[in-house]
Structure 1
Amino acid sequence: MAQENRASKVPFYTFGTTLAEQEKQLKVNPMLKRFDASRKELAEDHHRPTYHYVSPEGIMNDPNGLCFWQGRWHMFYQGFPPEDPRVHWGHVVSTDLIHWRDLPYAIYPNPEDRVYSGTTFVEKDRVIAMYHGVGSGSMVATSTDPLLLNWTKLGNKPVIPIPKPGEQLPYNVFDPAIWKKGDQYYSVLAGQRPVGPGNKMVRALFLFRSTDLANWQYLHPFIENDGYGMVGDDGACPYFWPIGNKGKYILLHFSHMSGGKYLLGDYDQVNDKFIVTDGGNFNHGPMLPNGVHAPSAYPDGKGGINVIFNINEGKADKTWGRIMTLPRLLTLDENGKLLMSPAGDIASLRSKKVTVAETPLPDNQEIVLSAVSGNALEMHAVIDPKNSPTIELNVLRSPGKEEYTRILFYKNGGFWDRSVPGKAVQYSAISIDNSTASTLEGVRSRVPETASVLINEGELIDLRIFVDKSIVEVFVNGRQCVAVRMYPGRSDSQGVSIQAHGSPATLKSLEAWQMENLFAKP
């Protein structure tokens, strides 16, 4: 039976093999000219971010295959070209994880119907992409050129095919992650097994091994001792990397039920099992609407992991919607707990700076910080909560408070950690509430995104806050991050205020910068 022709209608280009050739060709590439025109047109939307990456045309879904190759960061993403809105891998490149440069679409569908999520593995002389080809199975493609513009699919067929009608397999064929141990390649495929309570489905990852990338042997389920998932999770978009300098590993993934997650543990390389010792969430509320979605992650070369997520929209928009978060650097503290902080050269986007000196915060009195205003801001605030149970910081606030987004810190208001006998510890909590952020019709709010964060007794609250038109991201003491979308309808919703509830507190310092547009052409 002849194979169905699923060739894309999107223009396809072949590029030279040297950097000089490629740069020359890119200067006159029709696709990039089209991207530039589309960016200019879409920039008129006042909800479109200025320093978070958003696709040049059409809607966008998961980031994929983040990697570092020949001195540059590459990120791929699920793009929907207008002339053939099946998923293709879009492609951007950066030297600092912040200033992203559009490149033409990288991987096109055929024989697969759509190019879905996957990861990359960098070798000395090539980059390997392994991804889920809808309707086909796990696909492998390779590239060797300086800007990863030319990709060749191995055998032009799936290396792990989806099951035939009626075929029963002990594994799912879904999103893959790839790595190498010794001279053999390994891959885990995402999925579920009916081994939960009442035979309900729970997260599973299925391990394969290969010597040549073309022929894969199924081994067994990969995860053991996993108590950090929910019944119904499915482990999509997995990334498996070493983290820290003590032999630990992290498995980042996404659940279509409960959002972005991570597992920490030990890689048993004799039995090829991942022994889970800790875990947590990147989502602290629903992924839809307005919530963090799937990760793409790659080591920073110093023991940390750089990760970028896509984040969902909260209003109907057929021209664009989802965007990428800022990159986060994941590391481990001395106790093996996950730390997270902003990554990349964010400082290069800063322009006008405003400093607010130490300011007393009387109880139950909102203080408008009149010197700080904008809808594309970075802020660094240090707060002594003293005995105040709740500190509220409002951003994107209109003068009459018709619209505002609430950032709330709850001292000792998070979960209790009772995982170690006799050492119960109560966490604090950080929350973003967008229920009052917009007066526009058709904009959806969501339950507050609320995450627990460990703040030691007497420790100051250290907030890194990023406001960018329709997204707010908050990093807390380098240990937690929450992010939410919102859509202010008023042009004057740009103010900032702060309030201590219940008891006085002190704003020790606040620095704020206006942020430049990373898409602006010189």
Structure 2
Amino acid sequence: MAPNNGSWLVLSISMMLLTHGMIIIAKDQAIHHDDDDDHDDMLINDHQMINDDDPYRTAYHFQSPKNWMNDPNGPMIYKGIYHLFYQYYPYDPVWHTEIVWGHSTSTDLINWTQQPIALSPSEPYDINGCWSGSITILPQNKPVILYTGINNKNYQVQNLALPKNLSDPYLKEWIKLPENPLMTGTPTNNNNNNNINASSFRDPSTAWQLSDGKWRVIVGTQQEKRGLAVLFTSDDFVKWNNTGNPLHSTEGNGIWECPDFFPVYVGKSLGADTSIIGDDVKHVLKLSLFDTQYEYYTIGRYDIEKDIYVPDEGSIESDLGLRYDYGKFYASKSFFDDETNRRILWGWVNESSTQADDIKKGWSGVQAIPRTVVLDKSGKQLVQWPLAEVDMLRENDVELPSQVIKGGSLVEISEITASQADVEISFKIPESNYVEELDSTWTNPQILCSQKGASIKGRFGPFGLLTLASMGLEEYTAVFFRIFKGPNKYVVLMCSDQTKSSLNPTTDKLSFGTFVDVDPINEDLSLRILIDHSIVESFSAKGKSCITARVYPTMAINDKAKLYVFNNGTEDVKITNIRAWSMKKAQINLSTDNTSNMTY
């Protein structure tokens, strides 16, 4: 609590950070306390409350109470409590540079309680915004935040914050280190080839520690059009040194945002702590590319002798590379849950509505359902799946018998709440010579899906689900497969087609697509889709490929929404399994008391 007679708090911080006996001692120094910031008296007033009548607000996906939300930051588990921090602008449903760290806690990753804002602009090194970052759990179970601050010169610098009270499992208060900033770039007019562009230097990763005792962290930047993950090392987590060589870099794809670097076990469906090294692990480097607003990951080898990451052959950061999600999914962040041995992934799902519509509805941005991440048995890609905890929201189980769906047919899945549902379906196709040939120029699946949408008849496909459909099919979001015959094998295209998702002419109605690594003759083609009012998350082939869509139907809302299985191909397809559930509403960001007060 700030003293009554002044707006400055004298702090003396003494925290053991390393088991080696090193202690960070912040000298007595006057630090501007967040409680005295101009924004500190901000509360959520009655007009800022959640609108329960909003047909587009999600029921079980994470959202901020109101206004703008983007990147997930610093997810972790601490003393049995899950934490999610997120980029939040509390005043408008539009992005603003002077952003803060929102904060919520949970015991099950589904129901969330709003906590006080963790970080807000207050010091010269972050006065223009507290941008994205990560949390690292130091020895003796001590979490710390590394985050990007926008300083008083609008340069991007890296800062450290510590919990004020480690005995508080909810970590409601955080203290910024007096030594901040800890990592800085150089002005853009510096011609040194090794300089870090201070205007494009952001989003520190979770740190990891090797046997030499040094901590390592990467920060995204660029040199001209070369993207880099700049590598810093530290003995004490305060004094950081640029190694001079990036962990990894690639020419031509611009600044790398929100880098995430972590190990995955080979042959085990378990998560791995970020510092795990061994012959039984590979490493993943995920990058969010600002220029395309898509993110890509590669799988490869971490050479600890040279401190560099080497992607496997064919693993690339480009449009031909691997993505967590081939729809709206960006600025993702993973963490290791040491209580369940899972690596859990969060991702921001941005809007398809216009800014004017966002202002009207009073919010913008949703987080995807958290997913577990493991290495596929092939070792060539990751597999993602909604957390098992999501299943506890299922109710009203509906199961239909196995059946053949003829070409041109439509089957309704009724007796569930189709606007708030979880559905699993699998298909089987017979071996046939009557399969559409794959043109050698059809290399981009998103373009192919836009050309061959749900209404374009094929042979085997399109077949799949029409979600958030209106009674007369004026509106629907189609998720489907289409089968082609390649030179040596069958090729499976998965599409999420939003071209008829809404009669509102202003919404974004893209089609998304990916090729799925599955043998459609010898394996079932499976889909799991989470439907939640304005979001459709689709997982195919048991999580090998994922596509997330944001849609704003005008007719197919609430109890007016329908769910159908469809086959618009000429050939019959067998449905081997259909099971669907209505989903209960989760408790998300309700206030810790009935007054809904939220303060800095």
TM-score range, shorter chain: 0.7 to 0.9
Decide whether the 8 Å contact of 1:204 with 1:221 is kept in 2.
Answer: no
8 Å CA contact 2:185, 2:195 repeated in 1: no
Which residue among 463, 472, 480 is the counterpart of 1:408? 480
Q: What amino acid is the match of 1:213?
A: F
Deviation at 1:462, TM superposition (A): 1.6
Alpha-carbon offset, residue 427 of structure 1? 4.2
More divergent stretch after superposition (161-170 vs 144-153): 161-170
In the alignment, does 2:171 pair up with 1:171? no
Question: Aligned pair 1:306/2:349, yes or no?
Answer: no
Task: For 1:231 and 1:148, locate their aligned partners in 2 and report how far apart those are by CA, in whole Å.
Answer: 41
In the alignment, which of 50, 67, 73 is matched to residue 41 of structure 1?
A: 50
Q: Is the 8 A contact 1:116 1:132 kept in 2?
A: yes
One-letter code aligned to 1:385? I
Deviations 1:420-462 (A, max 9, x none): xxxx76642211111101112432212x110121112320012
Residues 344/158 of structure 1: CA separation in 2 closer, same or farther (3 Å cut): farther
CA distance in 1, matches of 2:466, 2:348: 24
**Alignment partner, residue 580 of structure 2:** 512
Q: Distance in 2 between matches of 1:161 and 1:219?
A: 14
In the alignment, what sits opposite 2:451? none
Partner of 2:518: 455
Q: Which consecutive residues of structure 2, in runs of 5 or more, have no partner in the other structure?
A: 1-30, 267-279, 317-321, 433-459, 595-600
The 3 A distance-change label for structure 1 pair 321 and 209 is same
Report the counterpart of residue 548 of structure 2 in structure 1: 483
Tell me, what secondary structure is at the counterpart of 2:300? strand
- Structure 2: distance between partners of 1:343 and 1:152: 32
Aligned counterpart, 1:16:
none
Deviation per residue, 1:377-427 (Å, 9 max, x gap):
0111122133524313101111111111111112247x99xxxxxxx7664
Distance in structure 1 (CA, Å) of the matches to 2:407 and 2:188: 66
Question: Deviation at 1:149?
Answer: 1.4
Q: Which residue of 2 aligns with 1:216?
A: 240
How far apart in 2 are the matches of 1:99 and 1:253? 29
Aligned alpha-carbon RMSD (Å): 2.8
Deviations 1:66-122 (A, max 9, x none): 112111221110011229962110011122222222111111112212011111111
Task: Say which SS state the counterpart of residue 106 (structure 1) adopts.
Answer: coil
Checking the alignment, whether the CA contact within 8 Å between 1:242 and 1:303 is kept in structure 2 is: no
The 1-side partners of 2:363 and 2:525 are apart by 36
Give the structure 2 partner of residue 430 of structure 1: 494
Inter-CA distance 310–243: structure 2 relative to 1 (3 Å threshold): same
Identity of aligned residues (%): 23
Does residue 74 of structure 2 align to residue 65 of structure 1?
yes
| Contact persistence 1:397–1:403 (CA under 8 A) | yes
Partner of 1:149: 172
TM-score normalised according to structure 1 size: 0.85
Summarize deviations over 1:119-174 as a string: whole Å, max 9, x none. 11112241111111113501111223321212121225210124247445523432
The match for 2:311 is 276
Q: 1:283, CA displacement in angstroms?
A: 4.5
Residues 158-208 of structure 1, C-alpha deviations (whole Å, 9 max, x = no match): 1012424744552343221122224221111101234xxxxxx13211111
The change in CA–CA distance for 1:374 and 1:207 in structure 2 (over 3 A counts) is same
- Runs (5+) with no aligned partner, structure 1: 13-29, 195-200, 286-290, 417-423
Deviation at 1:305, TM superposition (A): 2.1
Tell me how far apart the structure 2 counterparts of residues 8 and 221 of structure 1 sit (CA, whole Å).
39
- Give a deviation string over 1:194-252, Cα, whole Å, max 9, x none: 4xxxxxx132111111112222111133345x7xx783242211121111152211122
Q: Which of 294, 318, 322 in structure 1 is aligned with 2:331?
A: 294
* 8 A Cα contact 2:50 2:65, kept in partner: no
Q: Which residue of 1 aligns with 2:100?
A: 88
CA contact (8 A) 1:472 1:483 kept: yes
Judging changes above 3 Å, is the alpha-carbon distance between structure 1 residues 427 and 184 closer, same or farther for their aligned structure 2 residues? farther
Are the equivalent residues in 1 in contact too, given 2:186–2:195 (CA < 8 A)? no
Letter in 2 for 1:518: A
Matched, 1:254 2:288: yes
> Is the deviation greater in 458-467 or in 170-179?
170-179
Secondary structure at the counterpart of residue 366 of structure 1? strand
Residue equivalent to 1:385: 429
Query: 1:26 maps to which residue?
Result: none
Post-superposition offset of 1:11: 2.4
Q: Which residue of 2 aligns with 1:110?
A: 122
Using structure 2 for the length normalisation, give the TM-score: 0.74
Counterpart of 1:494 (choices 544, 561, 581) is 561
Q: 1:95 to 1:252 in 2, by over 3 A?
A: farther
Partner of 1:241: 262
After superposition, residues 330-369 of structure 1 pair within 5 angstroms as 330-336=373-379, 337-369=381-413
Cα distance change on mapping 1:231 and 1:412 into 2, 3 Å: farther
